[in-house]
Structure 1
Amino acid sequence: MTENTTTQLIQEVVDHVIAEDKKALSQWGDKRDHWVQMGGDLLKGIDKVISSDLRIVKDDGSIGTYPAFRVQHNNACGYYKGGIRFSTGVHQSEVETLAMLMTLKNALHDLPYGGGKGGVHINVREHSKRELKEVSKAFVRMLQNQIGPYKDIPAPDVGTGEETMDWMTEEYKVLHPNQPFINTFTGKSIANGGTKGRAESTGIGTFLSYYYLVEAVLSGSLSVNEDHTERKETVKAIGEKDNVIVAVQGFGNLSRAAAIEAANCEMKHTVIAVSDSRATIYNETGLDVEKLAPFKETNDRLPNAEELKELGVEGEVRDPDAVLTLDCDVLILGAIEDQITSENQADIKAAILVEGANGPITKEADEYLESKGKVIIPDVLANAGGVTVSYLEWVQGFTNDAKSKETILKDMSDRMKNVSYRVYNAYFSSESDVTMRFLCYKLAFLRVIDLMKRSGKIS
């Protein structure tokens, strides 16, 4: 979603709280409406944008120049927190939008963080490891006085990973001798203070957001408004199937983990397709995703037809966009933004769509799919597993008490379950014109502006 779409949705939440939900923040008395609007106006703004062109000497002796940004959106809930992208899609407006989403995501999941995001406009595939290391170090130099364990805590995102975070941590340590440094970045390697389970946490959390939806509906514990009866029955029917058919867009860290989690779930799930930017691998009877995963990790791509045979994986190679329109029950969107648009929205067959990526469904397509009775689990709810484990890594850095992978993922899962159940209870008891995305924004908004008021930012 674009920045305009995000700010528009924030204003819609403001208008709804003022006009239709008089119980919310009623303790504020006569000034409630004024303070709600003020909080909305503050949330639609940005605290700070740091930007610069990073310059490095490339391997061939030429100078490479790369626009870089760090956006600190809002810190009412805690220190700024958000990933760093290395991608040709990076531009200031995109980073600002993602920072806003991080504020809302952290607030929704009750994490002690505000929202931040960073990025460098660079094609990582066209650069050597040494060049990427130099860009990483230059990025830290740009931000050396703007980040820190009690200020702004970056993490990996698209195009970056634990190696990038290790490089950045080292550069920060060099720039700040005799100062705390280990908690300035999360998503580091385990040997460098990282947390076990971080790499797969976003994907596992994405799958669990769907699993908890089915679990909540099948439990019969939800209060369901008649406007949502059809959607409840849709979810119930999928949960009662002997075999749930799943397609997964993407096969990076997030999507691999989500696909493997689906394949190993106690409920019977069959993953019929995975994809990357080059191809979709499809098998209507199911793919062996655990055999595909090591190939993708090693080669940074999915195998071709001949390589599938060598791996002993049955499947056919299709166009990369084919994964979106397959006949399936659940579609996990784990690639990049703007994948379902007005051009392909009518071809979407999945009943439940899960946004592992940020903004994979455009506003127009979102409205269309909602009108068709699809159940959309929004990014702000679904993909918080990574930042939740980043929080656990941040805590670990203070205590020096490294937990086991099982303990970390159990903690993350429990937190995701609590938030998911709260959202699903509120969603199914709401009226039909309230989407799950809108509801998540509303719950997050109410927490942020309550803390703004308590801290004196709204008065």
Structure 2
Amino acid sequence: MTKNSTTELIQQVVDHVVNDDKAVLADWGDQRDQWVQMGGDLLKGIDKVISSDLRITKDDGTIGTYPAFRVQHNNACGYYKGGIRFSTGVNQSEVKTLAMLMTLKNALHDLPYGGGKGGVHINPRHHSKREIKEVSKAFVRMLQNDIGPYRDIPAPDVGTGEETMDWMTEEYKLLHPNKPFINTFTGKSLANGGAQGRSESTGIGTFLSYYYLVEAVISGSLSVNDMHTKTKDKVKAIAEKDNVIVAVQGFGNLSRAAAIEAANCGKKHTVIAVSDSRATIYNQDGLDVEALAPFKEKNDRLPNEDELKELGLVGEVLDPNAVLTLDCDVLILGAIEDQITKDNMKDIKADILVEGANGPLTGEADEYLEAQGKVIIPDVLANAGGVTVSYLEWVQGFNNEAKSEDENLKDMSDRMRNVSYRVYNAYFSSESNVTMRFLCYKLAFLRVIDLMKRSGKIV
């Protein structure tokens, strides 16, 4: 989703709270509506943008120049927190949107963080490891006075990982001798203070956001307004199937973990397809996703048909976008933004779409699919597993007490369950015909403006 569509939805939330939900924040008195509008205006703005061209000497002796950005959106809920991506899709507008979404995500999940995001316009595949390391160090030098364990805590994102975070941590340490450094970045390697389970947490959390929807509907614990009965019945019908058909866009850390979690969860789920930027691997009878994972990790791509045979796996190699329009019950979107647009939205067959990536649906596609009765679990709810375990890593750095993978993932899943149930209860009991994304934004907005008022930012 673009910054414009995000700010437009925030304004819709503000208008709803002012005009249609007078019970919310009623104790604010006569100035309630004015304060709500002020909070919305503040949330649509940006606290700070840091930008520069990073210059490094490449392996061939030439100079490489790479635009870089860090956006600190809002810190009402705590220190700025958000990933750093290395991608040719990085630009200032994109980073602003993603930082805004991080504010909403952290607020929705009751994490003590505000929203931030960063990125470098670069294609990591076209550079050596040394060149990427130099870009990483240059990025830290650019941000050295604007990040820190009590200010802004970056993490990995598209095109970055634990190795990148280790390089950045070391550069920050060199720039700030005798000062705290270990908590400036999360998503680090285990040997460098990382948290067990961090790499797979976003994907597991993405799948769990869907699983908890099914769990909540089947349990009968939800209060369902008549206007949401059809949606509840659709989810229930899928939940009661002997075999739920799942397609997963992507096969990086997020999508791979989501696919494996789907294949191994207690209820029968068959993953019929996974994809990357080059291909979709499809088998209507189900893929052995755990057997595919080592090949992807080693080669940074999915196998071709001959390589599938060598691995003893059955599957067809299709166009990379084919995964989006396959006949399935659940589609997990774990790649990048703007994957479902006006050009393919009418071909989507899945009844439940789960946004593991940030903004995989354009605003137009989002509205169309909602109108068609599709259930869309939005990114701000679904993909918070990573930032949740990043929070646990941040805490771990202060007390030097590392938890096990099982402990971290249980903590994350418990938090995801609590937030998911709160959202699903609000959605199904709502007397307004609003989307799940709208309700997530509303719940996040109410937390942000409450803290704005308590801190004196709204007066």
Q: Does 1:436 align with 2:436?
A: yes
Distance 1:393 1:142 in 2: 24
How far apart are the structure 1 equivalents of 2:140 and 2:361?
Answer: 32
Q: Which residue of structure 1 lines up, in the alignment, with residue 12 of structure 2?
A: 12
- Map 1:365-444 → 2, pairs under 5 A: 365-431=365-431, 433-444=433-444
Matched residue, 1:170: 170
**Following TM superposition, by how much is the alpha carbon of 1:122 offset from its aligned partner in structure 2, in angstroms?**
0.3
Aligned counterpart, 2:125: 125
**Cα pair distance change 1:454/1:432, threshold 3 Å:** closer
Q: Distance in 1 between matches of 2:88 and 2:270?
A: 34
Letter of the 1:240 partner, please give it.
Answer: E
* Secondary structure at 1:277 match in 2: coil
Corresponding residue for residue 329 of structure 1: 329
2:337, 2:309 → 1: CA distance? 32
Q: Distance in 1 between matches of 2:247 and 2:90?
A: 27
Which consecutive segments of 4 or more residues in structure 1 shift more than 6 A?
Answer: none
Match of 1:457 in 2: 457
Q: Distance in 2 between matches of 1:402 and 1:39?
A: 38
- In 1, the alpha carbon distance for the partners of 2:91 and 2:364 equals 22
Q: 1:36 — aligned with what? A: 36
**Cα distance between partner residues in 2 of 1:433 and 1:239:** 23
Counterpart in 1 of 2:186? 186
Letter in 2 for 1:209: S
Report whether the alignment pairs 1:52 with 2:38: no
Q: CA deviation at 1:432?
A: 5.0
Q: What CA distance in whole angstroms lies between the structure 2 residues aligned with 1:21 and 1:311?
A: 57
**Residue identity matched to 2:179:** Q
* Partners of 1:259 and 1:289 within 8 A in 2: yes
Could you tell me which amino acid in structure 1 is paired with residue 72 of structure 2?
A: Q
Any idea what the Cα deviations from partners look like across 1:276-331, whole Å, max 9, x if unmatched?
A: 01000000000000000110111010000000001111000000011001100000
Match of 2:103 in 1: 103
Give the Å deviation of 1:431. Answer: 3.1
Q: Distance in 1 between matches of 2:159 and 2:106?
A: 22
Equivalent AA in structure 2 for residue 40 of structure 1: G
The whole-number CA distance in structure 2 between the counterparts of 1:453 and 1:351 is 40
| Cα shift readout 1:214-247 (whole Å, capped 9, x = no counterpart) | 0000000000000000000000011111100000
- Give the letter for the 2:255 counterpart: S
Distance 1:25 1:312 in 2: 60
Q: CA deviation at 1:18?
A: 0.1
Cα deviation code 1:23-67 (max 9, x no counterpart): 111111000000000000000000000000000000000000000
- Do the aligned partners of 1:228 and 1:432 also contact (CA within 8 Å) in 2? no
Distance 1:382 1:390 in 2: 15
Matching residue of 1:313: 313
The Cα shift of 1:433 comes to 2.0
Q: Give the whole-Å Cα distance in 2 for the aligned partners of 1:299 and 1:431.
A: 50
SS in structure 2 of the partner of residue 342 of structure 1: coil
Secondary structure, counterpart of 1:303 in structure 2: coil
Query: Is 1:79 aligned with 2:79?
Result: yes
3-state secondary structure, aligned to 1:336: coil
Give RMSD over aligned pairs: 0.5
Measure the CA separation in 2 of the matches of 1:127 and 1:182: 27
Instruction: Name the aligned partner's letter for residue 78 of structure 1.
Output: G
Q: Residues 170-319 of structure 1: matches in 2 within 5 Å?
A: 170-319=170-319
TM-superposed deviation, 1:14: 0.3
- Amino acid paired to 2:368: Y
In the aligned structure 2, how far is the partner of 1:313 from the partner of 1:165? 35
The whole-number CA distance in structure 2 between the counterparts of 1:310 and 1:174 is 47
Measured in 2, the distance between the counterparts of 1:26 and 1:358 equals: 33
SS at match of 2:457: coil
Deviations 1:370-428 (A, max 9, x none): 11110000000000000000000000000100000000000000000000000000000
**1:361, 1:327 → 2: CA distance?**
18
Paired letter, 1:198? R
Amino acid at match of 1:105: K
- Give the structure 1 partner of residue 160 of structure 2: 160
TM-score using structure 2 length:
1.00
Alpha-carbon distance in structure 2 between the residues aligned to 1:64 and 1:21: 53
Deviation at 1:106, TM superposition (A): 0.0
Q: Distance in 1 between matches of 2:186 and 2:397?
A: 9
| Aligned residue identity for 1:47 | D
Distance in 1, matches of 2:202 and 2:29, equals 40
What is the alpha-carbon distance in structure 1 between the residues aligned to residue 300 and residue 456 of structure 2?
49
Structure 1 gaps, min length 5: none
